[in-house]
């Protein structure tokens, strides 16, 4: 019995360690690199020190090594554990010290979310030189609208009448959804973040 207990104890500790780190549902923008060394934009759906679920345009294959750079968290790496609609989940490979640091960072992010601190102004915003763009509403007509400002994660759009909250729209060639109304326009959130290397006043959506 003693030998069996010694054998089982490490496995029970691993299970307890996994359960100790709950997933945090938080949308963090980032970039990821697959084995072909190509980089793509991504956004987290949820994340824990042991794994993350990402919205990503290119999925890779199960078992592929992936390196991800996320805002607030920096670099994490691991392997693709499963493929999901519009993305994939990764198992994060990290030392115990790195996992503890991630746990602290995620606790801070979860507390910030619970306190209701604003998320939509966490990115720098620019005013495009050419603010006029075509906006097409899902299952509806297209119209020319004016961009008020643009960030890596979304944009303010001046238009009237206002489309409903949650509706899918396309700004130029960029898919997004309406997340907020304000006087004379709407705020939209991009389904995938813009690439920082093309983020300047000459940007074209």
Q: What is the CATH number of the domain that holds 180?
A: 2.40.10.430
Q: Which of 114, 144, 174 is the last residue of a domain?
A: 114
Residues 94, 16 within the same domain:
yes
The verdict on residue 123 lying in a domain is: no
Residues 83, 136 within the same domain:
no
Residues 6+ apart with CB under 8 A from 157: 135, 145, 146, 147, 148, 171, 185, 186, 187, 188
The verdict on residue 146 lying in a domain is: yes
Residues 86, 21 within the same domain:
yes
Residue with tokens 């609208």: 145
Q: Which of 60, 86, 114 is the last residue of a domain?
A: 114
The verdict on residue 119 lying in a domain is: no
pLDDT in tens, 102-130: 888 888 777 765 545 444 445 567 888 89
Residues 101, 144 within the same domain:
no
Residues 90, 158 within the same domain:
no
What is the pLDDT, as a whole number, of residue 19?
42
What is the pLDDT, as a whole number, of residue 141?
83
What is the pLDDT, as a whole number, of residue 80?
96
Residues 6, 95 within the same domain:
yes
Residues 89, 140 within the same domain:
no
Residues 103, 177 within the same domain:
no
Number of domains forming the structure of the chain: 2
What is the pLDDT, as a whole number, of residue 144?
94
The verdict on residue 203 lying in a domain is: no
What is the pLDDT, as a whole number, of residue 48?
93
What is the pLDDT, as a whole number, of residue 197?
67
How wide is the angle at C-alpha 87 spanned by C-alphas 82 and 89, nearest 5°? 35
Along the chain (205 residues), what's the average pLDDT of each consecutive run of 10 residues?
A: 42 42 80 89 91 93 93 88 94 90 82 53 74 90 90 88 91 90 87 75 86
* The two structure tokens encoding residue 61: 């294959």
The verdict on residue 30 lying in a domain is: yes
Domain carrying residue 22: 2-114
Q: What is the CATH number of the domain that holds 92?
A: 2.40.10.220
What is the pLDDT, as a whole number, of residue 112?
64
Predicted TM-score (pTM) of the model is: 0.52
What is the pLDDT, as a whole number, of residue 41?
87
What is the pLDDT, as a whole number, of residue 183?
83
The verdict on residue 125 lying in a domain is: no
What is the pLDDT, as a whole number, of residue 13?
37
Residues 72, 15 within the same domain:
yes
Residues 151, 87 within the same domain:
no
């Amino acid at each position: 019995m003693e030998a069996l207990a010694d054998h089982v104890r490490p496995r029970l500790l691993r299970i307890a360690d996994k359960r100790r780190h709950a997933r945090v549902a938080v949308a963090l923008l980032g970039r990821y690199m697959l084995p072909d060394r190509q980089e793509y934009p991504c956004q987290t759906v949820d994340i824990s020190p042991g794994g993350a679920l990402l919205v990503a345009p290119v999925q890779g294959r199960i078992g592929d090594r992936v390196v991800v750079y996320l805002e607030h968290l920096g670099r994490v790496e691991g392997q693709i554990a499963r493929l999901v609609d519009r993305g994939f989940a990764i198992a994060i490979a990290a030392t115990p010290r790195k996992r503890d640091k991630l746990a602290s960072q995620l606790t801070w992010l979860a507390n910030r979310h619970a306190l209701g601190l604003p998320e939509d102004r966490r990115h720098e915003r620019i005013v495009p030189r050419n603010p006029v763009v075509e906006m097409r509403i899902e299952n509806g007509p297209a119209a020319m609208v004016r961009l008020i400002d643009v960030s890596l994660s979304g944009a303010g759009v001046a238009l009237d009448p206002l489309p409903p909250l949650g509706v899918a729209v396309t700004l130029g060639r960029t898919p997004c959804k309406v997340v907020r109304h304000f006087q004379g326009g709407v705020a939209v959130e991009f389904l995938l973040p813009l690439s920082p290397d093309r983020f300047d006043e000459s940007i074209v959506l």
